[in-house]
């Protein structure tokens, strides 16, 4: 039987990255297959029950090398854990993280008030991506301790994150303070306190990609302040505006949202719901407010809840084909169709091509699945 080169074996095992049983079998086949198989088996660890924490710690103690394979650690569903279980997790979590020298992504979701366990982190972790979804901290201080434990942080995502107290006495470290390059502020986030925290510690200076889901005028004002402080460093901007209390049959651009003149992004993404009950002039208002000097890509993501004509396509095309946007090269459109809308993707795309004839004829119009 001919010998298969090791690099080809690794390449073949890579195809099994989602087949856990096959990967486990590969680890028992021969010693040469173990590293690649373990890379996929332990790359992404999901701890969603309190009893998994001591089990995972015992595994790391018995086989210390396994910790070097972990790139992603996700902690979830501890919102209903007992106080005794939370105390156990608080004790074990720092030790577990200390055994993961190559950890890149740390995620916490559905933790409720249990989110404060994340403040018990080692002083320095290798984490570059921090993603928190629907986590409630006891205080902004707890979030600050978590944030400052990630000096190499490049990406920060917050959605449904809150804190009972907005007071924060934790000071940023003199050296190695986190300077994320990507910031995502999703729905149900206290924009004012989160952005205020970032500005006070000068953690905004290197942000080049900013995504925000706005639901109030206060959110829009806080975002405007952040963009003014970021300035020309910002190259990618994504904005969703879904007000809690929209106007009568119209969703206008928030009055407190302003795009500073020193912000001229290369890529602008607008996310909007489109319904027969509301017109959406805020889309074209935002387009007109953004500096077009560097913009090469405009992306429009639609949640189609009613009629496409609720969006003023004529104004969109008129704005994008004006001399102001001469650097524009691509217009990307993505449509998520609500189940109650009796249209399919093909008919929706054909209608959009009909509504944007000049962009379509220039070959600039593209659709994203």
Q: What is the pLDDT of residues 65-121, one digit of tens each?
A: 889 999 999 999 887 888 898 889 989 999 999 999 999 999 999 887 677 788 878
What global pTM score does this model have?
0.90
Name the pLDDT band for 4 (thresholds 50, 70, 90). low
Secondary structure element (H or E) that encloses residue 142, with its range: helix 140-148
Backbone angles phi, psi at 91, to 5 degrees: -75, -40
Question: Stretch 173-178: mean pLDDT, rounded?
Answer: 87
What three-state secondary structure class fits 271? Answer: strand
Phi/psi class of residue 151: alpha, beta or left (left: φ > 0; alpha: ψ in -120 to 50)? alpha
Q: Which of 95, 55, 52 is nearest to 76 (CA)?
A: 52
Helix/strand/coil for 45: strand
What is the per-residue pLDDT across 103-117, written as a single tens digit (0 to 9) for each? 999 999 988 767 778
- Residues 335, 341, 346, 352: what is their CA dihedral angle, to the nearest 10 degrees? -60
The answer to whether residues 127 and 106 touch, using CB atoms and an 8 Å cutoff, is yes
pLDDT at 348: 94
CA-to-CA distance for 224 and 262, rounded, in angstroms?
12
Over residues 225-281, the pLDDT tens digits come to 999 999 999 999 999 998 877 667 888 899 999 999 888 899 999 999 988 778 888
Q: How far is CA 243 from CA 121, 190, 214, 215, 246, in A?
A: 36, 15, 7, 4, 5
Strands 129-139 and 44-47: unpaired
Mean pLDDT across 142-163? 94
197 or 113, higher pLDDT: 197
Q: Across residues 217-225, what is the average pLDDT?
A: 96
**What is d(CA 276, CA 267) in angstroms, rounded to the nearest whole number?**
28
Cα distances (angstroms) measured from residue 179 to each of 133, 202, 206, 208, 222: 21, 8, 6, 11, 19
* Mean pLDDT to the nearest integer, 307-331: 92
59: Cβ contacts below 8 Å, ≥ 6 apart: 66
Q: How far apart are CA 142 and CA 125, in angstroms?
A: 16
Q: Does residue 289 surpass a pLDDT of 70?
A: yes
The rounded mean pLDDT for the chain is 89
Instruction: Measure the CA–CA gap between 202 and 2, rounded to whole angstroms.
Output: 60
**What pLDDT does 316 receive?**
94
Residue 332 bridge partners (DSSP):
299, 366
**165: pLDDT strictly greater than 50:** yes
Q: Do the beta carbons of residue 63 and residue 38 sit within 8 Å?
A: no
CA–CA distance, 240 with 260 (Å, rounded to integer): 18
How many angstroms separate the CA atoms of 83 and 22, rounded? Answer: 38
pLDDT band per the 50, 70, 90 thresholds, residue 1:
very low
Does the pLDDT at position 295 exceed 80?
yes
Distance of CA 127 to the CA centre of its chain: 15
The single residue listed with the structure tokens 């008129």 is 318
β-pair partners for 336? 303
d(C-alpha 334, C-alpha 169), whole Å: 43
Please say whether the beta carbons of 89 and 78 come within 8 A. Answer: yes
Q: Decide: residue 148, CB within 10 A, 0-12 exposed, 13-18 middle, 19+ buried.
A: buried
157's enclosing H/E stretch is: strand 155-165
């Amino acid at each position: 039987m001919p010998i298969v080169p090791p690099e080809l074996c690794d390449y073949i095992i890579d195809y099994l990255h989602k087949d856990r049983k096959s990967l486990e079998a590969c680890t028992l086949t021969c010693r040469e297959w173990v590293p690649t198989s373990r890379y996929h088996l332990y790359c992404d660890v999901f701890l969603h029950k309190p009893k998994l924490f001591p089990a995972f710690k015992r595994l790391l103690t018995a086989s210390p090398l396994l910790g070097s394979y972990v790139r992603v650690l996700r902690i979830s569903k501890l919102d209903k854990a007992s106080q005794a279980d939370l105390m156990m997790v608080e004790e074990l979590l720092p030790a577990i993280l200390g055994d993961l020298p190559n950890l890149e992504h740390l995620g916490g979701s559905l933790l409720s008030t249990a989110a404060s366990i994340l403040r018990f982190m080692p002083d320095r972790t290798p984490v570059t991506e921090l993603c928190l979804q629907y986590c409630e901290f006891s205080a902004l201080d707890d979030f600050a301790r978590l944030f400052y434990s990630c000096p190499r942080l490049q990406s920060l995502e917050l959605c449904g994150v809150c804190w009972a107290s907005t007071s924060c006495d934790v000071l940023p470290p003199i050296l190695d303070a986190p300077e994320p390059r990507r910031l995502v502020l999703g729905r149900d986030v206290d924009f004012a306190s989160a952005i205020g925290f970032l500005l006070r510690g000068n953690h905004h200076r290197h942000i080049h990609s900013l995504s925000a889901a706005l639901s109030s005028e206060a959110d829009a004002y806080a975002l405007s302040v952040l963009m003014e402080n970021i300035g020309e460093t910002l190259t990618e901007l994504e904005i969703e505006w879904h007000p809690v209390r929209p106007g009568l049959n119209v969703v206008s651009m928030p009055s407190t949202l302003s795009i500073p003149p020193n912000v001229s992004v290369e890529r602008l993404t607008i996310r909007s719901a489109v319904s027969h009950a509301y017109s959406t002039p805020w889309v074209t208002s935002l387009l007109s407010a953004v500096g077009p000097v560097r913009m090469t890509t405009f992306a429009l993501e639609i949640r189609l809840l009613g009629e496409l004509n609720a969006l003023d396509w004529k104004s969109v095309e008129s704005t994008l084909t004006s001399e102001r946007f001469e650097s524009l090269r691509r217009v990307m459109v993505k449509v998520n169709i609500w189940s109650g809308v009796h249209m399919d993707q093909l008919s929706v795309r054909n209608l959009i091509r009909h509504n944007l004839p000049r962009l379509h004829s220039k070959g600039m119009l593209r659709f994203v699945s």
